[in-house]
Amino acid sequence: MSDGAALAGPDGALRCPWALSAPEYVAYHDEEWGRPVHGDDALFERLSLEAFQSGLSWITILRRRPGFRAAFAGFEIASVAAFTDDDRERLLADAGIIRNRAKIDATLANARALTQWSPGELDALIWSHAPDPAGRPAPKTLSDVPPVTPESTALSKALKKRGLRFVGPTTAYALMQACGLVDDHLETCVARSTPSKARGGATAPSTSASPC
Write the DSSP string, 143-196: GGS-S--HHHHHHHHHHHHTT--S--HHHHHHHHHHTTSS--S-TT-HHHH-TT
- What global pTM score does this model have? 0.90
Residue 186 in domain: no
CA atoms within 13 A on the CB side of 144: 16
Helices marked H in the chain: 23-31, 40-53, 58-71, 77-81, 85-92, 101-114, 121-127, 150-161, 169-178, 190-193
Q: Is the pLDDT of residue 149 over 50?
A: yes
User: Is 50 designated active site?
Assistant: yes
Residue 69 in domain: yes
Annotated binding site: 16, 29, 185, 189
Q: What is the pLDDT of residues 16-39, one digit of tens each?
A: 999 999 999 999 999 999 999 999
Residue 153 in domain: no
Mean pLDDT of all residues in 105-111: 98
User: Is 25 designated active site?
Assistant: no
Residue 101 in domain: yes
Q: What is the pLDDT of residue 61?
A: 97
Q: Is the pLDDT of residue 194 over 60?
A: no
Q: What is the pLDDT of residues 65-76, one digit of tens each?
A: 999 999 999 999
User: Is 76 designated active site?
Assistant: no
Mean pLDDT of all residues in 146-171: 97
Number of domains in the chain: 1
Residue 198 in domain: no
Residue 90 in domain: yes
Options 28, 32, 33, 45, the catalytic residue: 28
| Residue numbers of the domain that contains 66 | 57-114
Higher confidence at residue 182 or residue 135? Answer: 182
Annotated binding site for Zn(2+): 16, 29, 185, 189
**Under 8 Å between Cβ of 1 and 17:** yes
Range in 87-96, 128-137, 169-178 with the lowest mean pLDDT? 128-137
CA atoms within 13 A on the CB side of 197: 16
Confidence of residue 203 (pLDDT cuts 50, 70, 90): very low
Options 18, 50, 151, 173, the catalytic residue: 50
Residue 195 in domain: no
Residue 201 in domain: no
Burial classification of residue 109, based on how many CB atoms lie within 10 Å of its CB (0-12 exposed, 13-18 middle, 19 or more buried): middle
Q: What is the pLDDT of residue 133?
A: 87
Q: What is the C-alpha separation between 192 and 72, in angstroms, rounded?
A: 32
Q: Which of 203, 189, 199 is nearest to 26 (CA)?
A: 189
